[in-house]
Structure 1
Amino acid sequence: MKTSKADFISRHSLEVKLSDISKRESFSYGKTRVSGSKQTTYIMHSRSVYMPGQEKLFTSNYPANPNQVIDKEMIQLRNIYKRKNYINSKQPIGSKTIHRSQDAFTYKRFAPISDEALEIAVVAAYKQIFGNLNPMESERPKELERRLRNGDIPIREFIRSLAKSEFYSRHFIERVSQIRSVELRFMHLLGRPLKDESELINNINFIREKGFESHIDSLMNSLEYEEHFGEDIVPFQRHWNSPCGSTTSSFIKTALFRKGFASSDNVIYK
């Protein structure tokens, strides 16, 4: 089934929706839930070799094998165990505030699957992960967007791939100090600043031992990411409305980090 241009949201309408992004918690897209259905639409290249809905071919597994774990990896294994238990308990996903935490209940949240939701989620992902530094059309990973649209990968894997992309590495790893690189990665992937100096030191040591990609995997596979974003929610800045568990310093650091709608993280920390 072909998709006409009228099915997509206009650029002006998209900018209007995203201009006040701080007032809305999140954007999401959940095509993997219904991928493979005859009622969904998709676009495939004439030379493509995979059918839509083959999520297991494109989704990363947990980066640990219980039979090959050594002492230094026990913490990582425990984190994976906690995350699996959290998923099995079917807890509600998203930031919790004192006004609504008592009303939260166990449920399954279904993300939208429309073309408009896809377009908004993709732009919101670029805005968040690339720190409001818009990539050129030729720099956008079209194949990755196609897999997301087909339902081959969830938003989480789309975000993971963006964080490991050459574009991200060039602007937020190679051109900044290691300390700033860690700070940016926490803001981009977890939507919060570093808690304290000890967290910074622990993450720098982790990068020194296992590298940047393993550090990205550790954040993406963390229980914290699962609790707030799950599989289908695009990460966002979480400390504007003082959610449960946040500190005053987190709000101040977030406010200092976001200089303005027209600026980018690359300019601020260059």
Structure 2
Amino acid sequence: MISSQSIITKFGGERTTSDPSKFDRKSPIKIASTSAEFLQASCEKLSLPMGPRLHEECETKVPRGELADSSVEACQKAIEAAYAHVYGNAHLMDYERSVELESQLLNGEIAIKDFVKGIAKSEFYQRNFYANCSPMRTIELDFKHLLGRVPYSQSEISNFIALQAESGHGAVIDAMVDSAEYLETFGKHTVPYMRSWKSSAGAPQVTFNRTAAMSLGYAYSDKAIGAASQLNQSFSPQPNNIIVFPNGSDLEYMEMSMAWSGGRPPKIVTKIATVLTIAGLIEVTRVVAIVAFSAVAS
């Protein structure tokens, strides 16, 4: 039986085990220009807690307050993490960086949430994840890059495809980043990350399989995988939810006993296996020698 933790690490899911990148340089108070900004400001005045929120703790714990570093180093780390996640691990040239947004973030004029929205609307994102992709591929990547999960149903995808057709891709980005889900999960100052490796409250179990289909390890990028949907078959009347492992994956198997801590068998089991292996080799050698001697004697 394969350990779920070993599967996660082979697909690059170990990123979720480290602390998410955060940055917060207190920005000056500004007048809300959209309904989403007004509602967000109202929540802040009421001191309502917002992200980051672990969905496996839903219904047992409230969202915790955000504590974010305001140093230049934290800003640079958050910027690189945002590019890596929102651009799907694609290689980014210096001239393709959003220098103005980086400067605004460092100066406290915008928050991580605004930076994420800005680079998701950049020419780089439009060219690689919208212009040349099928509508379903575009939306499934938007879910991954902005909300840190895969779509739960075909209806979720269809609703955003309809919004995209009616109001453009920018409207889809606004709807996702300004959503209550985004704020409850990441807040304003945390870089989004792939969070659907674990069983989230209310999420179907097949989410894990779909996440594996969308995340093919460190060496892959969403740009290189192609423009066709990776989840189309998963939502068909006869879904195929088999996990396809990246080439060269070295899977670790789940321990058969609670004594196998750390994913390794006890020393006594290792010694027994070694003895049996040696005994087997001796027996094979003996049989080969007998056959060879019989052949020579005849």
Could you say whether these structures have the same fold, taking a TM-score greater than 0.5 normalized by the shorter chain as the test?
Answer: yes
User: 8 Å contact 1:126–1:134 — kept in the other structure?
Assistant: no
Query: 2:30 — aligned with what?
Result: 56
Query: What is the letter of the counterpart of residue 119 of structure 2?
Result: L
**Distance apart, 1:259 and its partner CA:** 0.7
* Larger radius of gyration between Structure 1 and Structure 2: 2
Q: TM-score, normalising length from structure 2?
A: 0.65
- Cα distance, 1:237 vs. partner? 0.6
Residue 160 of structure 1 corresponds to 117
Q: Specify the alignment match of 2:179 in structure 1.
A: 222
1:91-102 map, 5 Å: 91-98=49-56, 102=60
Q: How does 1:53-202 map to 2 (within 5 A)?
A: 53-54=27-28, 56=30, 61-62=34-35, 88=46, 90-98=48-56, 102=60, 104-105=61-62, 108-202=65-159
Superposed displacement of residue 264, structure 1: 0.2
- The CA distance in 2 between the partners of 1:93 and 1:163, in whole Å, is 20
Q: Which structure 2 residue ranges, 5 or more long, are not aligned?
A: 1-11, 228-298
Which residue number corresponds to residue 24 of structure 1? 18
What is the identity, as a one-letter code, of the residue corresponding to 1:136? M
Q: How many residues align?
A: 215
Superposition misfits of 4+ residues, deviation over 4 angstroms? 83-87, 97-101
Identity of aligned residues (%): 33
1:95-138 CA-partner distances (Å, limit 9, x unpaired): 33546863x34653221111221111111000110000021011
Structure 1 stretch displaced more, 229-238 or 110-119: 110-119
Contact 2:13 2:194 in 1 (8 A): no
Please say if 1:203 is aligned against 2:160: yes
Superposition RMSD on alpha carbons, in Å? 2.7
Q: Which fold has the larger relative contact order, with Cα–Cα distance below 8 Å and residues 6 or more apart in sequence?
A: 1
> Is the Cα contact below 8 Å between 1:182 and 1:203 reproduced in 2?
yes
Q: What letter is aligned with 1:96?
A: L
Measured in 1, the distance between the counterparts of 2:14 and 2:64 equals 28
- Aligned equivalents of 1:201, 1:148: Cα separation in 2: 34
Structure 1 residue ranges without an equivalent (≥5)? 1-17, 34-52, 65-79
Counterparts of 2:145 and 2:63, CA distance in 1: 28
Aligned residue among 214, 220, 239 for 1:263:
220
